[in-house]
Amino acid sequence: MTDPDEKKSERDSGVASLAYDAVLRGLSLQDTMLTNLRNRASTLLSVSALGTSFAAAASRFRVANLTTTDRVLASLAVFVMIVIGYLAISILRPVDWHVGPSVREILTPRPGTLDDIKVDLTRKLDAAFQDNKRQIESLAKIYDGAVILLVVQVLLLVSLAIFR
Which range of residues forms the domain containing residue 136?
31-162
Identify the weakest region by mean pLDDT among 1-10, 22-31, 54-63, 151-160.
1-10
Residue 3 domain flag:
no
Using an 8 Å Cβ cutoff, are 153 and 51 in contact? yes
Residue 9 domain flag:
no
Using an 8 Å Cβ cutoff, are 139 and 40 in contact? no
Residue 19 domain flag:
no
Closest CA to 141 of 93, 91, 97, 96: 91
Identify the residue with better confidence: 163 or 110. Answer: 110
Average pLDDT of the residues in 24-44: 92
Number of domains, the chain: 1
Residue 14 domain flag:
no
Mean of pLDDT over the chain: 84
pTM here? 0.77
Judge whether residue 53 has pLDDT over 90: no
Amino acid identity, position 42: S
Which residues neighbour 38 within 8 Å (Cβ) at sequence distance 6 or greater? 91, 92
- pLDDT for the residue numbered 28: 92
Residue 88 domain flag:
yes
Identify the residue with better confidence: 77 or 147. Answer: 147
> Whole-angstrom Cα distance, residue 89 to residue 158?
25
